[in-house]
Structure 1
Amino acid sequence: MNKFIVNVIIKFIVVLICGTIAFLCVYHDYSLYSKPIGKITTVKTSGEKQQIQAEIKNGEEKGQFRDIELKYDKALVYDQKYHKGDVVFLDSELKTITGVKRDHWVAAAVILLLGMLLGFGGRKGFFTTVCFVADIVIFIAMTLLYVKGVDILLMTVVSCLLFAFILLFLVSGASRVTLISFFVTIGALAVVGLLCFALIWKTANMGYEYLDFLPEPYTVKQANHLFLSQIMIGCLGAIIDIAVTITACSVELIRKTPDISTKALVDSAKEVADDITGTMINVVFFTNLAAIIPIFIISMRNDIGFVTVLKYDAFFEITRFLAGAIGILITIPLSVMASSMFLRKGEKR
């Protein structure tokens, strides 16, 4: 059998075994929770009522059974219908269900992702994993500092610098392409940020009462900073991707043809950009669309018009999408200009 195929099979088996062990460990981590946890053993459904028996999995009542009676709405918007085998959180009196324990499915997805990165990505997969963990740590630190009163916009600017630096230099390594891509990313992000900053501060009423998860009470300044932070972080990934691709293309063209004219360089970069720009803009579009789908469904089911939802609830997602698309388009000429300027200056010296 081909050696490559054997290696792939071995890696797959190792990932599968490690993933299964980790999944089972998380599935049975009841003792790590302070909240009471129960596993549903029997369910009797009658109309919109459910008679549930659950076995307590942690705490002083561990091993005992509790009978719970629940009602649920057929629309299942705010309620949930439970089934035998579901693992659920209970209130302190063990009389009602407060939520479903889903951490094992999240763990399974994370384990699968990390396993594939480490198993099939090789060295770059390892550094991508390190970068992923570092980004999570930065985000957690950013959240904790925000809770303590540090300005969210200031932390977002610093975090974006760290996100871009760690991602580019860990995954791509230290090179001219990486350095140029880093400066292009920061430049494009700054342009998008300044444009949005000007538009937000010039708009009298942004309708922040429709912005989801905005802590109350809030000032207009705090809301502006939070929304601008969302825009910057939302743009970052797409901008980095375009910056690396166009910069690498421009650097290679200049290296192979040192006397290439600026027009020819721009035309060549434009051909590459045409192949990826549409795809990346659609990625940004569908990412923001996914966030607003539940709002559309719930609103229209309650006889709220499509245009009304689009005007109020979807306004912020549309703005984030437009900012991301503008960021992608701005990154292309910046990448070409930066590559041409830095490399040709280096050659003259």
Structure 2
Amino acid sequence: KSTAAIGGTAVALVLIVVLSQLAIGVARLTGLVGDDMASTVFVLFDGAIDARGLLLSGILIGALGALDDVTMTQSSAVFELRDANPALRVRDLYARGMRIGRDHIASIVNTLVLAYAGASMPLLVILASQTEGFGTLLNREFLAAEVVRTVVGSVGIVAAVPLTTAIAAWFAARESAQPAPPARPATSTPPA
């Protein structure tokens, strides 16, 4: 189970890194604006800290908290399906695991969005008090960074479900196809 969960997490993290770097570049985010004190850290270290790298790290750590839950849950579900019916093949395990995963995706993405919203409460207060249009607000880096965090993290989590389910189905089917080791003969203890 753990190997499948780690595999799904690793592949999803690579996807999140690629998407984060792409989104940070396209959105031209500097990483210097936000409620995460990146600007302060940048100034304290005389610019020796890569603020964009710090933003990327924050995105990864934020997503990782939800990823470990999703991948372990998916892997466990697939192995439980296999234990309930060892005759299931990879395709069947995957299809049944994905039915479980679809329900899990909605709740975990909601959890991620709420976690980011809770961590960005000062930002939400600022947004509520602004009279500027949404398009203008969206072009501000502090909001764009939060949108990138939420969207990239959510995409990574959504992608982790089918990835982990496929890996777990492959491992589970492979394990059930292997013959069980022969039972060890019972040893009798002489009466005392």
Q: Match for residue 205 of structure 1?
A: 28
- Post-superposition Cα deviations, 1:179-205, rounded to whole Å, max 9, x if no partner, equal 3222322222122113323443x4373
Cα offset, 1:237, TM superposition? 1.4
Q: How do 1:174-323 residues align onto structure 2 when only pairs under 5 Å count?
A: 177-200=1-24, 202-203=25-26, 205-212=28-35, 213-214=37-38, 215-216=42-43, 217-218=46-47, 222-298=50-126, 301=129, 303-312=131-140, 313-323=142-152
1:300 and 1:306 in contact (8 A); partners too: no
- Post-superposition Cα deviations, 1:6-45, rounded to whole Å, max 9, x if no partner, equal xxxxxxxxxxxxxxxxxxxxxxxxxxxxxxxxxxxxxxxx
Cα offset, 1:322, TM superposition? 0.9
1:180 and 1:338 in contact (8 A); partners too: yes
| Structure 2 unmatched ranges of 5 or more | 180-192
Alpha-carbon distance change, 204 to 235 in structure 1, aligned in 2, over 3 angstroms: closer
Cα offset, 1:210, TM superposition? 2.5
More helix by share: 2
Alpha-carbon distance change, 261 to 302 in structure 1, aligned in 2, over 3 angstroms: closer
- Post-superposition Cα deviations, 1:200-233, rounded to whole Å, max 9, x if no partner, equal 3x437324443341222437x8122111100110
d(CA) in 1 for partners of 2:151, 2:111: 12
2:90 and 2:173 in contact (8 A); partners too: no
d(CA) in 2 for partners of 1:344, 1:263: 9
d(CA) in 1 for partners of 2:132, 2:99: 44
Structure 1 residue matching 2:28: 3-state secondary structure: coil
Q: Match for residue 343 of structure 1?
A: 172
Amino acid at match of 2:34: L
Cα offset, 1:303, TM superposition? 4.4
Q: Match for residue 103 of structure 1?
A: none
Alpha-carbon distance change, 334 to 299 in structure 1, aligned in 2, over 3 angstroms: closer
Cα offset, 1:254, TM superposition? 2.0
d(CA) in 2 for partners of 1:250, 1:242: 12
2:30 and 2:52 in contact (8 A); partners too: no
Higher relative contact order (CA 8 A, sep 6+): 2
Moved over 6 A (4+): none
TM-score by length of 1: 0.44
1:296 and 1:306 in contact (8 A); partners too: no
Amino acid at match of 2:76: A
d(CA) in 1 for partners of 2:99, 2:82: 16
| Structure 1 unmatched ranges of 5 or more | 1-176
d(CA) in 2 for partners of 1:335, 1:302: 42
> CA RMSD, aligned part only?
2.6
Number of residue equivalences: 171
Structure 2 residue matching 1:210: 3-state secondary structure: coil
Alpha-carbon distance change, 205 to 335 in structure 1, aligned in 2, over 3 angstroms: closer
1:184 and 1:331 in contact (8 A); partners too: yes
1:235 and 1:324 in contact (8 A); partners too: yes
d(CA) in 2 for partners of 1:322, 1:263: 30
d(CA) in 2 for partners of 1:317, 1:343: 38
Cα offset, 1:306, TM superposition? 4.3
Q: What percentage of residue pairs aligned between the two structures are identical?
A: 23
Cα offset, 1:345, TM superposition? 3.3
Alpha-carbon distance change, 195 to 303 in structure 1, aligned in 2, over 3 angstroms: closer
d(CA) in 2 for partners of 1:245, 1:282: 16
Alpha-carbon distance change, 218 to 302 in structure 1, aligned in 2, over 3 angstroms: same
Cα offset, 1:304, TM superposition? 4.5
1:292 and 1:314 in contact (8 A); partners too: no
